[in-house]
Structure 1
Amino acid sequence: MKTLIIALSLLLFSTAHAATAPGQPTQLETGLVNPGYQEKPEWFKESFLNLRDDIEEAKTANKRVILYFYQDGCPYCTKLLQDNFGNAEITEKTRQHFEVVSINMWGDREVTDLDGKTTNEKAFSAAQQVQYTPSLLFLDESGKVVLRVNGYYAPDKFKLALDFVAGKHDQAGSFRDYFAKLKAEGKVTTSSKEYTLPGSLAQPLRLQDARKDTGRPLMVLFAKPDECDSCAELYDDIFKREYLAYSLSGLDVAQADPDADTTIQTPDGKDMKLNEWAKSLEIKYSPSLVFFDTDGKEVFRTEAYFKAFHIHGALDYVATGAYRAQPEFQRYLQHRREVLAAHGFNVDLMK
């Protein structure tokens, strides 16, 4: 029972999507001040959320547009604003090359989308399949998404994302290709440490044959050891916590190096090179967790930096089948938060 209580308490996700006056912190039902509220930098664009106008104005200034999706109560949004945009180099680079337009994931402000249709912030966010905050969509001059960052990137990786789009390297290939090129030129720092997750499926991966009789969903952990700046925390801390081990036991787990050229069997039974499969899945962040149902269809993924409560929530979201009834992951976590708050549980969201 004690283990269950600890495990449940760490699912607390402090997002409050009630309307909030500008500059005022959201109050949780527990009476605590929203720990994730943060004022946006004054240099973010004061947009009327007519996205076609925003793109044209940015184009005239020889800039591109970043759509920044946020929510009050999001500690990763605070981390982005403080650690990334609090960095003078990142701020200068962003202001020089981009216009940043903020969109509240749960907001009701009117949005005119790229087709000229009128909607609101929360409907537009849903249409863009925003599951995490922060999420950033980097748009080119035509409004096409040339890079999507789902979740928080640490400053060094975030700088690379800015350089990729500002330099229009998207016209030559993917962000993953760009990163590989920089690595080959010795322009990015790498590590040689290997990581192993206990209970993982045997190599080479046979992701359909090995799971015929398990009845469990599959989690594939894509991680390139020499690119994985957050793998140490994930493997050496988060995955070693007892309540995470319980959640992992409800899944089949596989590890995959997205650059390996070994032949594997995909969850839907196709034989192909691992690196080709990773490319088809558009794996661009290490580590990425990609979840598949028992039929081999992808149902969910995480592809950014997350702490334990968010990783735990993702595992349970898939292992319990909750994604079938609730397609919005944030709503799922919000319900968990409300139930746990009613029981008096509180946690530090960033541990």
Structure 2
Amino acid sequence: MRRTVLILAALTALSGLAGAATMGDDGLHKEDWFSLTFKDVAEDIQSANDEGKRLVLIIEQRGCIYCAKMHEELLADPEVADYIKANFKVVQFNMFGDEEVTDLDGEVLTEKTAARKWGYVFTPTMIFLPDVIPEGKTTAEAAVVAMPGAFGKHTFLNMFRWVREKGYEGDEHFQQYHARIINELRAQGKLTGE
């Protein structure tokens, strides 16, 4: 009886975890706050703008250990997840998927042909889009930056902050921005690693 109560308590605690990713039929981890769209990149940029957010596309694939790390460690961290949810519209792409995608240049593709066209070969890859819809450019050409891989918490979170603050328009390169933020956190005693 005691064992049953402990198991039920553990299951209840796990089911109550906010932001816990589930596994989709396509083998990709799913966050309940990811946006389900028609994958028309121009429409998604406009929709993000209407919400006061920026658009980021995340390309993943089934069995990707780094995608799992991103979901299980980074996106499960409330500080990271809360910042992204408040500031970004996130649309997930399957690197080998067959869902229809409309590129910024108007070409209709599948997820897998879009990933190939855009030249993205690593998963996860975060593609940060501008807040102004460019004319005649592909999604890859329009991206303000792309981040391949699941880095440590602060590198990952600082990339989202740098994009939100439009650091790419200024003179402070992301690596300089990241180093400055890390040094500030260390000086405040809020960080001992990374």
Tell me the TM-score normalized by structure 1.
Answer: 0.42
How far 1:188 sits from its partner (Å)? 4.8
Q: Please say if 1:87 is aligned against 2:82.
A: no
CA distance in 1 between counterparts of 2:76 and 2:48 reads 23
| 2:126–2:147 Cα contact (<8 Å) kept | yes
Structure-2 residue corresponding to 1:118: 108
Q: Please say if 1:182 is aligned against 2:172.
A: no
| 2:28–2:60 Cα contact (<8 Å) kept | no
- The partner residue of 2:144 within 139, 146, 149 is 146
Structure-1 residue corresponding to 2:125: 135
Listed as ranges, the matches of 1:37-76 within 5 Å are 37-76=27-66
| 1:111–1:124 Cα contact (<8 Å) kept | yes
Task: Name stretches of at least 5 consecutive residues in structure 2 with no aligned partner.
Answer: 1-22, 134-141, 188-192
RMSD across aligned positions (CA): 2.1
How far 1:147 sits from its partner (Å)? 2.0
Task: Name stretches of at least 5 consecutive residues in structure 1 with no aligned partner.
Answer: 1-21, 26-36, 191-227, 230-351
State the structure with more CA Rg. Answer: 1
| 1:70–1:135 Cα contact (<8 Å) kept | yes
1:23-68 superposed Cα distances (whole Å, 9 cap, x missing partner): 347xxxxxxxxxxx45310110011100100000111111111110
Between Structure 1 and Structure 2, which shows a larger proportion of helix residues? 2
CA distance in 1 between counterparts of 2:74 and 2:62 reads 18
| 1:147–1:175 Cα contact (<8 Å) kept | no
Q: Give the AA of the match of 1:187.
A: E
Q: Secondary structure of 1:132's match?
A: coil
Q: Give the AA of the match of 1:134.
A: P
| 1:68–1:136 Cα contact (<8 Å) kept | yes
Structure-1 residue corresponding to 2:93: 103
Q: Secondary structure of 1:100's match?
A: strand
Task: Say how many residue pairs are matched.
Answer: 158
| 1:67–1:100 Cα contact (<8 Å) kept | yes
How far 1:157 sits from its partner (Å)? 1.1
Q: Secondary structure of 1:62's match?
A: coil
| 2:128–2:144 Cα contact (<8 Å) kept | yes
- The partner residue of 1:77 within 48, 67, 85 is 67
Q: Give the AA of the match of 2:39.
A: L
Listed as ranges, the matches of 1:213-224 within 5 Å are none
1:66-102 superposed Cα distances (whole Å, 9 cap, x missing partner): 1100001111111101111101111110011100011
Q: Give the AA of the match of 2:48.
A: A
| 1:133–1:151 Cα contact (<8 Å) kept | yes
Q: Give the AA of the match of 1:46.
A: L
How far 1:180 sits from its partner (Å)? 4.2
Structure-1 residue corresponding to 2:154: 156
CA distance in 2 between counterparts of 1:93 and 1:175 reads 18
CA distance in 2 between counterparts of 1:165 and 1:135 reads 15
- The partner residue of 2:170 within 165, 169, 172 is 172
Q: Secondary structure of 2:90's match?
A: strand
